[in-house]
Structure 1
Amino acid sequence: MRDYLNEALGQVDARGVFLDPFDAHNVRRPAQEGAADVGDVHAVPFVLECKNVKRPSVPTFLRQAQVEACHAGFPYGVAVVKVPRSNARRGRVHFAIGTWTRVRLALGLSSRAFADRYAFGASLRGLDSGKWYMTTELESFRHLLADMRAARYAP
């Protein structure tokens, strides 16, 4: 996930070496912090909680991502689940409804425009909105990440 995002966002050269090792926009894998875990991958302004499991428990992964984003001091936590036997760019990026709404508002987009632009699909299971989430592929997420950085987190 990290390598794909760095390459797709133009943060590395053809050999995979950072163009600017001090650039805050480099996607990095932080050292783990034990009880105060800070997530698997940092892609400013997101913490990615990455999973490679047969039976994903997305609501649980999203709660974990949100806690770890808070520990890391990042505004957004999302869960990324690898799709078996697929390229990393096909990984599924899951957003809790609250996170999805905050990102959408930060970009100034309507719900429909945001969902269409980044190819989001909804999972609205049951009446408990705490278990609802929005999903896109990592390839679409990289466009969202680039747009968030351009709009709000420009160096």
Structure 2
Amino acid sequence: MANPNKARGTAWESDVRNYMNTALGLVNELGKFLDIFSALNVKRAAQEGAADVGDVHCAPFILECKDVKSPAVPTWLRQADVEAANAGFPYGVVVHKVRRANVRRGRVHFGFATWTRVRLALGLSARQMRERYAFNASVRGLDSARWYLTTDVERFTQLVADMRAGLT
């Protein structure tokens, strides 16, 4: 790959995919899918046409993966929402790499509206959601469209498992 930034981004997407498949128990000890046809497998998306469908598909989420030094979270979240809609998934989130840290420490950002919809789907109060998945809030001004909540990849993976199990 000629573009080093593209190579870094692709590596981050693959690291997230591999970590989540392992943590969710979807692969064997060799990293091979237990059921190659399962819709629950976490996969990197093949880009097709003009409508981007996100970097990683992790039903019911689209993950927009970012390996950049300077974050632009509100902009990325808008992008994740559009890509989730393009892919037909209900939720879009951003997974931002933390320099020199294990993939499980990457930051997963939820827009306020997405976080609320996920919380309600899980049947949790705001306090329960924050505590169970260690979310921290970033509130910028009075416009809730610019607010977001952040956890790490490890806790996000547990959230995905809980959603898939229908746990509350």
In the other structure, the counterpart of 1:45 is 60
- The separation in 2 between residues aligned to 1:50 and 1:140, in whole angstroms, is 16
In the alignment, the residues of structure 1 paired with residue 48 and residue 112 of structure 2 have an alpha-carbon distance, to the nearest angstrom, of 27
Deviation at 1:35, TM superposition (A): 2.0
Amino acid at match of 1:79: V
Structure 2 residue runs without a partner (length 5+):
1-15
TM-score by length of 1: 0.96
Distance 1:58 1:32 in 2: 22
TM superposition shift of 1:34: 4.0
Q: Which runs of 5+ in 1 are unaligned?
A: none
User: Aligned residue pairs: how many?
Assistant: 152
The percent of aligned pairs where both chains have the same amino acid is 67
- What's the CA shift for 1:70? 0.2
SS at 1:36 equivalent: coil
User: Once superposed, which parts of structure 1, at least 4 consecutive aligned residues long, lie more than 3 Å away?
Assistant: none
Q: How does 1:36-115 map to 2 (within 5 A)?
A: 36-115=51-130
Match of 2:161 among 129, 143, 146: 146
Deviation at 1:128, TM superposition (A): 2.0
Counterpart residue identity of residue 81, structure 1: H
Q: Aligned partners of 1:129, 1:97: CA distance in 2, in Å?
A: 7
Q: Letter of the 2:76 partner, please give it.
A: F
